[in-house]
Amino acid sequence: MEHAGLSSTMIKTGTKPDFSFSIHAWSEAGGSRETSFSALLEGRTVVSVYMKGGTPGCDRQIESLRECADELERADFAIIAVSRDGAAAQARQGEKKKLPFTLVSDPGDLFARATDSLVEKSMYGRKFTGPARAAYVLEADGRVLAVVPKVDTADHAAQLREVIAGLPARKGKAGA
């Protein structure tokens, strides 16, 4: 049965979603602030979506992102991790774990709506709607370069390395 707003297919490579919606972002350098999602896209960016910090799978996903953060930065990619957690919870998590990337609070699933990735989930026999645990590689203008439709929480870093290695080099950038 189709549900309004639920997706059976995610956004495709080459698409340019509308990322002008407002979110709360936390970063080690900038603290907590309200901004538009599009303002966070200052260059090529990996956006990794998870449900809620403090849960085993989501924490493994965040740790895997931390594992490859320096490598992605050297390849000229920023990282944004998006979850339903509130702004205060994101700030606590980022500060506690000293995360070197931006955390975005998105309790309204605005990113998932923009990327057509709201899905029906089931936990303990209860069905609910939520964002797909996925990752997106975006150009600075918001164009989708690649999608990882199902994040492997234990080895997300390897997934990202593989996807980024398969991207064409940027014009004027060697090895990126």
How far apart, in Å, do the first and last CA atoms of the chain sit? 43
Chain-centroid distance, C-alpha 43: 14
- Reduced to 3 states (helix: H, G, I; strand: E, B; else coil), residue 150 is coil
Residue-wise DSSP of 20-76? --EEEEEETTTEEEEEEHHHH-SSSEEEEE-S-TTSHHHHHHHHHHHHHHHHHHHTT
Which one has a higher pLDDT value, 31 or 139? 139
**What pLDDT does residue 126 have?**
84
**What pLDDT does residue 9 have?**
64
What is the C-alpha to C-alpha distance for residues 74 and 119, in angstroms, rounded to an integer?
33
Which one has a higher pLDDT value, 55 or 120? 120
Tokens of 37: 């999602």
CATH architecture of 22-165: 3-Layer(aba) Sandwich (3.40)
Chain-centroid distance, C-alpha 105: 11
pLDDT band, residue 39 (cuts 50/70/90): very high
Mean of per-residue pLDDT scores for the chain: 87
Residue type at 10? Answer: M
Which range has highest mean pLDDT (2-6, 43-47, 48-52)? 43-47
The pTM score is 0.88
Query: What number of other Cβ atoms are within 10 A of residue 176's Cβ?
Result: 15
**What pLDDT does residue 148 have?**
94
Q: Which among 20, 49, 75, 73 is positioned nearest to 149, based on CA atoms?
A: 49
**No. of H helices and E strands in the chain?**
5, 9
